[in-house]
Amino acid sequence: MGLDIRAISGIITKDTNQIAFEFHELMDDPIETFYINQDFPQHASEFKVDSSEVQYVKQDDSEEFDFRVGSYSTYNKFRNLLSLAIHGIKVESLWDNEHKYAGTALWDLLNFSDCEGVIDSIVSTKILKDLEDNRDKFIEYLKKDTDIGEMDTEHYAETYNNFINAFKLGANLGIVIFC
């Protein structure tokens, strides 16, 4: 078990474009489903739904990217390193001080499920900007942290870059799925 990330650009839901969605239905295009994590509805506020299930279709020019982050503990270590690099505190302290850190750099990624849910294009755009703005700071932190071996440093740098690639697609009228 562990965390996988799937990003898809250019999706259509009944909410975002009912006519186009129904056209794709008539053409027998594959209809897929994603789930909104009810603990983090603000990460998917773009979708006005009565339940946590959202059906979507991909457009002809949709792009996909997926990667495996690793075990849940590996992802939580990644989040902790990210919080230390950007905010100077452990991620648990960040969560305990939501009133102080909500809305700061990478808050929407650090304060999201470590196992399931979806992030819409609005939040993806914000996370992408934060990731791009803080990449050098994160890489420098990894190089300074003496408790991280060279292989782990490479893994966490690659994970960071993979998140940038995923959120680029998510920001392009898409979604980033944590599963």
Residues of the chain above pLDDT 90, percent: 70
Q: Are 110 and 83 in contact (CB under 8 A)?
A: yes
Question: pLDDT (tens digit, 9 = 90+) per residue, 11-37?
Answer: 998 877 778 878 877 777 888 989 999
pLDDT over 80 (residue 145): no
Confidence of residue 6 (pLDDT cuts 50, 70, 90): very high
The pLDDT of residue 89 = 97
Give pLDDT, residue 15: 76
Give the 3-state secondary structure of 157-172. Answer: HHHHHHHHHHHHHHHC
DSSP annotation of 71: S
pTM (2 decimals)? 0.92
Who's near 159: CB < 8 A, 6+ residues apart? 67, 69, 70, 78
Amino acid at 109: L
Question: By CB neighbour count within 10 A (0-12 exposed, 13-18 middle, 19+ buried), where does 17 fall?
Answer: middle
What are the φ and ψ backbone dihedral angles of 98, each rounded to 5 degrees? -50, -40
Please write the tens of the pLDDT for every residue from 94-129: 999 999 999 999 999 999 999 899 999 999 999 999
Cβ 177 vs Cβ 2: under 8 Å: no
* Residue-level pLDDT at 151: 77
Q: By the 8 A CB rule, do 37 and 177 touch?
A: no
Distance of CA 33 to the CA centre of its chain: 17
Instruction: With a cut of 70, say whether residue 146 has pLDDT above it.
Output: no
> What's the rounded mean pLDDT across residues 131-158?
90
Q: pLDDT tens digits, residue range 48-90?
A: 777 788 989 898 899 999 999 999 999 999 999 999 999 999 9
